[in-house]
């Protein structure tokens, strides 16, 4: 939200007072005096006027998790362990998942309390590649790469997938890069050739790569550089 709107929404200030406060640089966001009415105020921002705190803010949190098999990409589940159960962190109810994975799919999962950050990561408009290692039941033919690059029609949604890149690694293994996140998309793409996916592992989302030192079920906080990459 713009800082002028944030202040105007408070019952104590009218628009004229807000303009004056900004011109006189009496408003500080995260400890820095601001005068631009368009300056962004987020739920994590500390906002003060004349050293009086109007919003204390809260720390933004960002985690990278190596999701294991048999774990639900949800905040709660009555039958199965969830990815949040793997985190030893306070206030886990504030966290959410940025880009879900199927029950038996493994690999990179990102968890945060920053909704704006996770939207940038997952919304289709950003076209961030999601890269998967795929193992199939049958051999992967050379025609797969051509078909995936052209897009595959999904009748249920009445749409054609965006072009995807396939790199053959072995007779039944490949690396697939997609920019969407349709329901069971990878399995359905290989299902176009009646080839069942028996192993699926997400290596990367955009420029964020799964830390090779993380064993399944382990996690760590993202670095400042990694957070800024999104």
Residues identified as active-site: 102
What does each C-alpha distance from 72 to 132, 196, 205, 216 come to in angstroms? 18, 21, 19, 14
- Taking a C-beta distance cutoff of 8 angstroms, is the pair 108, 205 a contact? yes
Number of H helices, E strands in the chain: 6, 15
- Taking a C-beta distance cutoff of 8 angstroms, is the pair 163, 176 a contact? no
> Three-state SS for 92?
helix
Instruction: Tell me the DSSP string of 27-90.
Output: EEETTEEE--TT-B--TT--EEETTEEEE------EEEEEEPTT-BSSS--SSS-BGGGG---S
What φ, ψ does residue 93 adopt, rounded to 5°? -65, -20
Burial label for 77, CB within 10 Å (0-12, 13-18, 19+), is middle
């Amino acid at each position: 939200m713009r800082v002028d709107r944030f202040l105007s929404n408070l019952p104590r200030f009218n628009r004229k007072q807000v303009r004056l406060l900004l011109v006189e640089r009496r408003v500080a966001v995260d400890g820095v005096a601001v005068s631009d009415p368009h300056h962004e105020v987020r739920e994590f921002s500390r906002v003060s006027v004349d050293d009086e705190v109007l919003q204390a803010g809260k720390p933004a949190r960002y985690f990278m998790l190596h999701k294991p098999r048999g774990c639900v990409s949800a905040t709660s589940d009555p039958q199965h362990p969830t990815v949040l159960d793997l985190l030893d962190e306070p206030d886990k109810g504030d966290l959410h998942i940025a880009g879900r994975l199927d029950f038996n799919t493994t690999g990179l999962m990102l968890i945060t309390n920053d909704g704006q950050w996770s939207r940038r990561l997952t919304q289709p408009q950003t076209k961030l590649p999601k890269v998967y290692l795929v193992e199939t039941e049958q051999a992967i033919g050379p025609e797969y790469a051509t078909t995936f690059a052209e897009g595959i029609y999904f009748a249920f949604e009445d749409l054609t997938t965006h072009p995807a890149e396939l790199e053959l690694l072995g007779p039944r293994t490949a690396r697939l890069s997609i920019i969407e996140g349709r329901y069971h998309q990878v399995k359905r793409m290989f299902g176009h050739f009646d080839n069942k996916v028996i192993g699926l592992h997400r290596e990367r989302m955009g420029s964020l790569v799964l830390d090779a030192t993380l064993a399944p079920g382990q996690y760590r906080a993202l670095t400042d550089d990694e957070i800024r990459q999104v």
